[in-house]
């Protein structure tokens, strides 16, 4: 039965990887794989000799000799445990996504366009790269990419130039998301699962991520495409709401408050995120009521209906397919972990490749082909290193930045591909090698920092 379970898992994994070829949303194979794996485990629970206790991070002694009811009870407890841990991640993401949508409701991101005062392509490259690096650490790399490419479309008209800028935004946004516990889904997973703490993650991964961003930008700034001035005039677009700036800074501040809340209270991050959402939503309701009065003649189209509840509007716009995908993939990986398959795979991998750094670098390269969420979820089941082990920091860096090597290797890349119609092979030819150079440069800095500076 274990062989069948592995085949189902690999088939589901392949379907997720080939999402664009099959033209099937990746949430479908993820949910199907999860349900089938747990069903197979339940149907043949007496045939398994190993069971991995995730709470204790070890195999259960004498599992094979337990009775049917005891095994079923242990399976139900494990499923409930994994559902709880998965729910922590999902509710955290729901809160963060809703805050971002509330900021967008008030056109808060238009404030960022005010920072763009130059027409020099070289300066614009650095400006967009720095904005991507900082924004992705706060509102996550996917959202930062959407915001910056939307601004890019208003600033630059030439298609070839736009493609180059979009490619560099993908690299720098992924680099920025890797060092922050709220910057990338994978780092958020590691943080919520108590594999890394916010302070230590920043300490170990910020400098490598910065190098991963700076090296490709320095190289690219020498290219002809980033020389000279952009065509046309910079558009002086005014924000649609007078509260746009306030809501932008309030929303970003509320998200940044979450790691502080966790550090002070030691409660799971989703609790802090719910508090932040409540605060942002309160101001949103107040400003919404001020924005629209009964006597008001001018009302914006999108707000004329249900304008009294920006929270409802924002909740209707969040990416529910992504939430369901995370539910499916994390519980599918949990099924493999519970049977001890990932634990045994880690042992075999360590025997085949004794150098853990090479294994983690391969994870990074692999994340360009395979979705980094299941990759990191699998690594959490494979390794049992303690909180803030350098291994987890290196995995956070590799999985976060490695996806930049292919346009389909990260959520930021996929959304850029959709928004700018970037060709897969154009990106592979022009941008991939820059991403690889940045990835390797950052990895070398991480290893040097770990071994000679921090001396962990």
pLDDT, one tens digit per residue, over 381-421 is 778 788 899 999 999 999 999 989 988 778 788 788 878 88
Tokens 């942002």, residue located: 280
Q: If you search the block for the tokens 């230590």, which residue do you land on?
A: 200
Lowest mean pLDDT among 106-115, 294-303, 437-446: 294-303
Residues belonging to the chain: 456
pLDDT reading at 224 higher than 50: yes
Report d(CA 189, CA 91) in Å as an integer: 12
Domain count, the chain: 1
Residue range of the domain that includes 313: 89-185+235-320
| Residue 439 within any structural domain of the chain | no
Task: Map tokens 């990932």 to a residue.
Answer: 342
H helices of 156-241, in order, are 159-178, 185-192, 198-220
Q: What percent of the chain has pLDDT over 70?
A: 92
**Within a domain: residue 99?**
yes
Q: How many Cα atoms occupy the beta-carbon half-sphere of 420 within 13 Å?
A: 37
DSSP conformation class of 46: G
Round to whole Å and give the CA distance between 240 and 235: 15
Taking the CA of residue 128 as centre, how many other CA atoms within 13 Å lie in the half-sphere pointing to its CB?
31
Residue 271's SS3 state is helix
Say if CB 74 and CB 304 are below 8 A apart. Answer: no
Q: What is the pTM of this model?
A: 0.78
User: Could you give the C-alpha distances from 394 to 178, 295, 361, in angstroms and in order?
Assistant: 10, 58, 8
In-domain check, residue 256? yes
Q: Sorting pLDDT into bands at 50, 70 and 90, what band is 166?
A: very high
* 432 pLDDT more than 50: yes
Rounded CA gap, 376 and 106, in Å? 35
Residue 332 has a CB neighbour count (10 Å cut-off) of 28
Residue 74, in any domain of the structure: no
Q: Confirm if 213 and 175 have CB atoms less than 8 A apart.
A: yes
- What confidence category does residue 111 fall into, taking pLDDT thresholds of 50, 70 and 90? confident
Please give the biggest Cα pair distance in the chain: 76
| Range from 21-30, 99-108, 192-201, 237-246 carrying the lowest mean pLDDT | 237-246
Domain membership of residue 308 (yes or no) is: yes
pLDDT tens per residue across span 53-107: 776 766 787 888 888 898 898 899 889 988 998 898 889 888 888 998 898 888 8
Q: Which residue has the higher pLDDT, 344 or 142?
A: 142
How big is the chain by its Cα radius of gyration, in Å? 23
Whether 225 is covered by a domain: the verdict is no
In a domain, 298, yes or no: yes
* Cα 295 to Cα 359: distance, rounded to the nearest angstrom: 65
* CA-angle at 185, arms to 182 and 186, nearest 5°: 105
From 153-162, 303-312, 435-444, the region with the lowest mean pLDDT = 303-312
Q: Is residue 363 a contact partner of residue 371, using CB atoms and an 8 Å limit?
A: no
Whether 240 is covered by a domain: the verdict is yes
Give percent of the chain with pLDDT exceeding 90: 33
Instruction: Give me the sign of the Cα torsion angle 323, 371, 358, 350.
Output: positive
Tokens of 417: 């591909």
Among 17, 15, 133, residue whose Cα is nearest residue 372: 17
Rounded Cα gap, residues 202 and 205, in angstroms: 5
Q: Are 200 and 450 in contact (CB under 8 A)?
A: no
């Amino acid at each position: 039965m274990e062989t069948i379970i592995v085949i189902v898992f690999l088939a589901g994994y392949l379907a997720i990887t080939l999402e664009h070829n099959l033209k099937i949303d990746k949430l479908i194979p993820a949910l199907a794989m999860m349900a089938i794996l747990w069903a197979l485990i339940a149907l043949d629970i007496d045939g398994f000799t190993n069971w991995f206790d995730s709470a204790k991070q070890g195999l259960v002694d004498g599992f094979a000799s337990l009775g049917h009811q005891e095994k079923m009870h242990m399976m139900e407890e494990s499923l409930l445990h994994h559902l709880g841990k998965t729910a922590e991640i999902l509710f955290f993401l729901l809160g963060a996504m809703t805050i971002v949508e509330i900021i967008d409701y008030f056109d808060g991101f238009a404030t960022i366009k005010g920072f763009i005062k130059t027409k020099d392509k070289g300066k614009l490259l650095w400006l967009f790269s720095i904005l991507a690096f900082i924004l992705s650490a706060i509102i996550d790399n996917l959202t930062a990419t959407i915001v910056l490419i939307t601004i890019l479309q208003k600033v630059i008209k030439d298609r070839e130039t736009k493609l180059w800028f979009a490619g560099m935004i993908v690299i720098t946004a992924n680099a920025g998301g890797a060092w922050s516990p709220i910057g990338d889904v994978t780092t958020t997973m590691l943080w919520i699962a108590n594999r890394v703490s916010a302070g230590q993650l920043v300490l170990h991964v910020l400098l490598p991520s910065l190098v991963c961003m700076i090296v490709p930008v320095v190289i690219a700034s020498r290219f002809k495409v980033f020389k000279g001035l952009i065509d046309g005039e910079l558009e002086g677009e005014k924000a649609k709401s007078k509260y746009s700036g306030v809501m932008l800074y309030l929303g970003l501040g509320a998200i940044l408050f979450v790691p502080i809340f966790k550090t002070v209270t030691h409660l799971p991050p989703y609790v802090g995120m719910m508090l932040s959402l409540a605060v942002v939503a309160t101001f949103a309701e107040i400003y919404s009521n001020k924005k629209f009065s009964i006597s008001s003649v001018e009302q914006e189209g999108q707000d004329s209906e249900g304008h009294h509840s920006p929270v409802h509007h924002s909740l209707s716009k969040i990416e529910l397919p992504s939430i369901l995908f995370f539910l499916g993939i994390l519980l599918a990986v949990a099924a493999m972990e519970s049977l001890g398959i990932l634990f045994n795979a880690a042992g075999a991998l360590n025997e085949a490749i004794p150098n853990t750094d090479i294994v983690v670098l391969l994870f990074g390269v692999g994340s360009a082909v395979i979705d980094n969420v299941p990759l990191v979820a699998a690594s959490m089941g494979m390794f049992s290193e303690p909180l803030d082990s350098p291994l987890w920091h290196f995995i956070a860096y590799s999985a976060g930045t490695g996806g930049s090597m292919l346009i389909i290797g990260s959520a930021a890349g996929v959304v850029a591909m959709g928004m700018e119609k970037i060709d897969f092979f154009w990106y592979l030819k022009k941008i991939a090698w820059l991403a690889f150079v940045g990835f390797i440069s950052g990895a070398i800095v991480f290893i040097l920092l770990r071994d000679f500076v921090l001396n962990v």
